[in-house]
Structure 1
Amino acid sequence: MKKFRLSAAVFGIAAVLALSSPPPVSAMKVGDVTGQVLSTDIHAYVNGAEMPSLNLNGYTAVAAEDLREYGFDVAWVPQERKIVIRYSGKKEVQPLPVQTAAQPLGTKLADVLYTDISAYYGDHQIPSYNIGGRTVVTLNDLSAFGSVVWSEKDRSISFTPAAHDTGWFTANPLAVRETGTVQVDHIWIGDPKITWNGEEVGRTIDYVPMLDVSWLAGKLGYTAQETKDGRLRVDNGTDGFILRQGDNHPELIWFGTTAGKVETWKAPVKRNGKWLLREPDLKELFGYESVWSPETHMENITYRKLIVEDHGLKRRTDNFSYIVRADGFLEGTSNLPFLGLEREIDGQMVHAPVVAGGMADAAEGGPKYRLDTAVQLELGTNRLHLRLTQGYRILFDSVYTVELPLRELAPILDRNTSYSSGDSTWLKEVSPAKAYQETSGSDMTFSGTAEKINGTELTFIMERKAGEDYVPLGGPVPAPFEGDRFQTKLKLPEQTGLYRVTALTWVTNPKGSFQMPAAYWYIQKQAQ
């Protein structure tokens, strides 16, 4: 499912769909045009707030993902190609902007496309449509789950959801769930033959156990097919990999397209028409667990069926610290998934640290494990790559951008991660409360309180923006703690321009101590 907003021309106004005798569903392919979106004047309200909408054949519809801003939990599940809408009453309504356009009624705005993505409200499937790469649902199809009211006078329709749904609702953007396992037991690792139930399923070559890739793929729910150019493509419709003879760098597959290469210890070989690959390399590519007994020479394989729920990655933020968490609803496992986050810097992708572990205080029905990663953003547009994997098996993959606007920046750096560089001061409240300030004054006071203190003071430094860089001005200014409070006054230069003020905290760990930022302010000095 593509993850972008439609143009204002489509979702900024209400619209009406003109259907032109679409072909039977059995004859349709994903992407086939089934109708047109034409402009109209109907307004849609959800949970009392207006939201961008369109109208399908006289029925007002909204983008499923937009419901996240109206108190709903909306999860995209790539492995099952479905989107699930639930209402918890625990999320604050934050309405999206609704733009209007002075276009004549009946103006074509977009095509409606056939989609194989299914939509659910809770456990109940509802009709869905694809417009501009987004899944939309009609408000009338939600009437079984609340109240739908039409006002002819106001040319509006409103949906109010019924009582809160039950179950676990996550505040984190990703959740990974185990839906079952596949067991392939009693594989006898012999030399030269490897057998399973009397069937030869591999060979030991130069003391290295090599399994039949196609055989194992079939057992784990994948298909293996040799391509015209002599490669072996292993795919289950969501993830997979491509092998080449003599090449120990297989390509990974995500939703039918290649998603980078990985390295295996040994290249695949082809014997008697069968593709063979070292068993530990297959373990990484398929992401399974295995146990081998040196006494019996038997190996047992456990392949965990995992799905990922994308509850909405944050695309706009107010903090330099960008944190991504994934909740793990997993059974006993020796290998947790890996959550990898990268940010593009000067054309290179820089990795973020990651922490994974069990939840000691796991709530009933809640996750047993949590994955935690964070990256430092820059002001403006940041290009990120997030990938969740089990071994080399891709469970979720997204390249996206995150906006960090200067005028929306929060001064306190978010340190709410599972890892740290050591003991440091954590700020609770600060003044000014907004990072961006405009002033013509000659000085500015900075103050606040801390929820955790390391050391006896904060250190303030000032820099002036010069081109793309910041140039230090003057020396450091201390801000001693009095209890849990601090305060200091900085003299501002007479020269107009943009200045950055940084509050530094001491960080201590067994290797030593150093200073790092705890808060930032950006001061636009104006002429008096």
Structure 2
Amino acid sequence: MKKAWTALVLTVTLSLGLAAPAAAAGSFADVPAGTKIGNLYATDIAAVWDGAVVPSYNIGGRTAVVLQDLADYGFLVEWTPGDGVNGGRVSVTTQALPETLPSYTPEETAASGTVVGSIYATDISVEVNGVPIPAFNIGGHMAICLDSLCSSDLDNRFGVNINGNIGYSNAGFRLSWDGERHIASVTSLRPGTKLTVDGQDYSVDGLHNRFTSSLAWRGKGGQDLGSDLQITIGEENFLSMDTVQMLPWERCELEGGTLYLETSSAQKHDLYDMTSIEDIDAFKEQHPDAYWLAFSFPKTDTNFFAIPVIQLPVHIQQEGQEQETVVHGIVWDGEIMVSDEVFRLAGRWGA
């Protein structure tokens, strides 16, 4: 049989006597680990990840990669063994691209349709940037499908792809297909890359899936100005531009990818964190012109999706002096949220 050059890409057909569409890994949840559930067939599809060709497979028409291979392409791959009751877990975290990527040359394999291996049921779970991804066992190696990694997965309590408005999946990836050349290409949100939001480019600092989402209550003196979304990562609170602009500023706007803040002497030290004030009613009565925020802190971290943290340039002008600095921002559902660090830098927090 004539051989063809391929990208070491394989197709799975379930062992049911007929070539069947790919089944999700969850379809075999009740099948004992190690049970053969399909065959691997050669094909001619290539996978390109952030510009580099990676060894790949095709599971029932779906292109897949082996997790161990990703460690050479700017990913941290960690293995946690099972405890005898639950299976093991593989965690994959996006990191910066290495200075030198592997120079992978596709191997010469059998012609498309030739059986070249097997697929097995597994009790090992896989998370990529904290997002659970269906996985398969290919001859002792864990593999995931690119469309699962890059899909708009709505199976979370928010019922949304939080990164959909910036063109990425909840795990932080984008998939494109070149039908003429048979190439599946993946683009990753990773540290050091550029992310375009509202036509402006920002540098990605990383992806975070360990965060809490809650409400920040806003007001002035005894006046309640309502609540808005608050995202907390570690000790840092991220607030919407609406909340930042709640305060009186000489200037407060996001323009050309930079946050411009300008204050007068009368606008300094007029914002208070109510979570640190014991007698809130007395404070409101004594400070009728003071603005305040009351943060809430849920105890449970969220890991339904990975949100990009960006570097946000800030230009501060106060009392005739100017300062250029950078704070963290996050991109939530296509909108930039700002670290409350800007209040300290602009001298807004009261004692």
Alignment TM-score, normalising by the size of structure 2? 0.42
Which has a greater percent of helix?
2
Larger Rg: 1
Which has a greater percent of strand?
1
Higher relative contact order (CA 8 A, sep 6+): 2
